[in-house]
């Protein structure tokens, strides 16, 4: 079925393929955007990011054209700053906006967005189980792309209604999964941003000042806060994949993974969320252990992961070429980040 998106739909869901096609059809370049006609769009672009920084949520405003065009502008500004904390915070804030709007969306539109933008196999399906009504069914492989990132037991596959390769979901579940997909898309780096004209540089500078103030206020560590999963050493990547797939890992591996993630800038809550995928997850115990490793409790010592030699004796080493020049997983991460940044 051909589904027609209104301007309001595009403004509400600027991450969709249809919204991107519409924006491309306008053939706007940066010089167009600095004309007074587009001032409200640029201002709203800045505002989206400031909202993300201040409240962790991007609101939905009335003017459809401004709302739609300000989305790529905000992304351009985020990329220009090249700050991983900002990229994550903005991605989370936009995903919350998407979650809220999608949860109230009509069925046909929601299904169309899920199919066309994300390529997921979703169907309308009425099912009653355990006192709940489920309105949709989603192919289990699509479900497992993002559900393992959620901490609540509700999302564990063993707790879901599953039939013939489909997971039954409520509308709010579909909205939550889509919003997670939006978050991960927005966290992807887009390549080198174009040079900005002075008018835009000034706006980016306003955001930079706000960002730096917030980092100071919240004590965000600048050391190696650029969390880039692609730069993780193979040993850590393997441990992380095991956890995300819901498999248990050894005590030594848990310590190495936790201390690594904390040292590359993940928060305690983010690490807990990752560990929530394992079958024996106990939030209180995990929090206690993660906070201890992060130096928040206990003697105040922030632990680092064991050196490569130690990891080798535990049978956790998965050496590759880049490992030849290092003797610690954090050195691998720093070197790999440097190489990637140079390439970009
Ligand atoms: S050499 Fe070190 S960083 Fe590389 S996989 Fe082995 S333990 Fe990990």
Tens of pLDDT, residues 119-169: 999 999 888 877 788 999 999 999 998 887 775 778 888 889 999 999 999
CA of 233 to the centre of ligand 1 (A): 6
- Position with higher pLDDT, 274 vs 321: 321
CA–centroid distance, 319 to ligand 1, in Å, is 5
Q: For ligand 1, atom 6, which residue shows the shortest CA distance? A: 317
Q: What is the mean pLDDT of residues 60-72?
A: 94
Average pLDDT on 185-197 reads 84
Q: Is the pLDDT of residue 57 over 80?
A: yes
Angle between helices 64-81 and 39-55 (to 10 degrees): 60
The span from the CA of 156 to the CA of 247, in Å, is: 12
pLDDT computed for residue 20 by the predictor: 95
Task: Assess contact for 187 and 91: CB atoms under 8 A.
Answer: yes
Give the residue, by CA position, lying nearest to ligand 1 atom 8: 235
Q: Given the structure tokens 């650029």, which residue do they identify?
A: 226
Smallest CA-to-CA distance from 48 within 69, 19, 24, 18 is with 69
pLDDT at residue number 217: 66
Give pTM, 2 decimals: 0.66
* Ligand 1 center–CA 115 separation, angstroms: 40
Is residue 265 over pLDDT 70? yes
- 31 touches 2 (CB < 8 A): no
Closest-CA residue to 259 (of 224, 283, 214, 284): 224
Give the number of the atom of ligand 1 that is nearest the alpha carbon of residue 322.
Answer: 4
- Residue 227 predicted with pLDDT over 60: no
Q: What percent of the chain has a predicted confidence (pLDDT) above 90?
A: 59
């Amino acid at each position: 079925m051909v589904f027609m998106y209104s301007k309001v739909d595009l403004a509400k869901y600027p991450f969709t393929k249809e919204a991107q096609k519409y924006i491309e059809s306008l053939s706007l370049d940066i010089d167009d955007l600095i004309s007074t006609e587009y001032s409200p769009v640029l201002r709203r672009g800045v505002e989206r990011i400031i909202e993300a920084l201040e409240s962790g949520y991007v609101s939905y405003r009335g003017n459809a054209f401004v709302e739609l065009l300000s989305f790529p502008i905000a992304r351009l500004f985020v990329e220009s700053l090249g700050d991983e904390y900002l990229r994550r915070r903005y991605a989370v804030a936009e995903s919350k906006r998407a979650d809220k709007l999608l949860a109230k969306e009509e069925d046909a539109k929601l299904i169309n967005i899920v199919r066309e933008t994300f390529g997921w196999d979703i169907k309308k399906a009425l099912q009653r189980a355990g006192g709940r009504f489920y309105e949709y069914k989603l192919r289990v492989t699509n479900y497992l792309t993002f559900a393992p990132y959620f901490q609540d037991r509700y999302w564990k596959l063993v707790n879901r209604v599953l039939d013939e390769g489909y997971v039954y979901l409520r509308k709010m579940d579909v909205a939550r999964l889509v919003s997670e997909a939006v978050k991960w898309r927005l966290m992807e780096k887009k390549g080198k941003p174009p040079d900005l004209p002075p008018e835009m540089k000034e706006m980016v500078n306003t955001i930079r000042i706000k960002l730096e103030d917030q980092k100071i206020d919240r004590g965000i560590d600048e050391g190696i806060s650029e969390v880039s999963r692609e730069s993780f050493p193979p040993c850590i990547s393997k441990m992380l994949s095991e956890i995300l797939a819901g498999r248990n890992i050894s005590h030594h591996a848990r310590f190495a993974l936790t201390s690594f993630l904390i040292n590359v800038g993940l928060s305690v809550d983010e690490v807990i969320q990752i560990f929530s995928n394992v079958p024996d997850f106990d939030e209180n115990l995990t929090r206690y252990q993660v906070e201890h490793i992060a130096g928040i409790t206990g003697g105040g010592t922030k632990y680092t992961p064991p050196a490569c030699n130690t990891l080798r004796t535990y049978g956790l080493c998965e050496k590759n070429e880049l490992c030849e020049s290092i003797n610690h997983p954090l050195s691998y991460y720093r070197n790999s980040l440097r190489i990637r940044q140079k390439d970009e």
